[in-house]
Amino acid sequence: MFTGIINGLGEVIDVEEKAENLRRIRIGCGYDPGSIAIGASMACSGICLTVVERGLAGNRATFDVDAAAETLRLTTAGDWRCGTKINLERALRFGDELGGHMVSGHVDGIAELAARDDFLDTASFSLQAPVALSRYIAPKGSVALDGVSLTVNKVEGEVFSVLVIPHTLQVTTFGALEPGARLNLEVDQMARYAARLLETPRR
């Protein structure tokens, strides 16, 4: 589990086709290499991936993850190339502060940045959600976009808006985003379960 509070930035430094619909992706990061465990879960731009190798590239720690067919189909991982910047969050441990909201790292789909309005220090993003996911997004509710926990400000049909504060613009990939960017979207788990309960026939 994760909270959507980004604690590192990574960069894709290698992509290898291992088999049909299976890619090995190497990510450089600023973590202490000794603290990265093989088998650990890492949220990579919101996608929960398993560390399968670790190492060093110059003075930077690296870790490898495998992205299989479902991940490549449902997320932006299929678009990652050398140089792609990645938001990173390590899995929660007992005693960690819960600063955002509960995020599973199981991406539901891809949202597209439709418009960006920059103010003095903040930015407002308007995003187009997939039709099937828009029913789970509500004003004042939570979403995770590329792994970042955000509060929804407004919803109009399949379009929703979020306000991004200066700190988030500085420590995540959001500062460089432009309209047309594709972001991994995870809807709030409580909204998903509530909708499922309403769909289940009563006996």
CA 51 – CA 93 distance, rounded (Å) = 16
SS3 state at 155: strand
Bridge-based pairing of strands 47-57 and 60-68 is antiparallel
SS3 state at 46: coil
Amino acid identity of 190? M
Q: Is the dihedral of CA 44, 35, 103, 24 positive or negative?
A: positive
Residue holding tokens 């009563």?
202
CA 49 – CA 100 distance, rounded (Å) = 20
| Residues with catalytic roles | 2, 41, 48, 50, 68, 106, 151
DSSP state, residue 174? G
CA 196 – CA 142 distance, rounded (Å) = 18
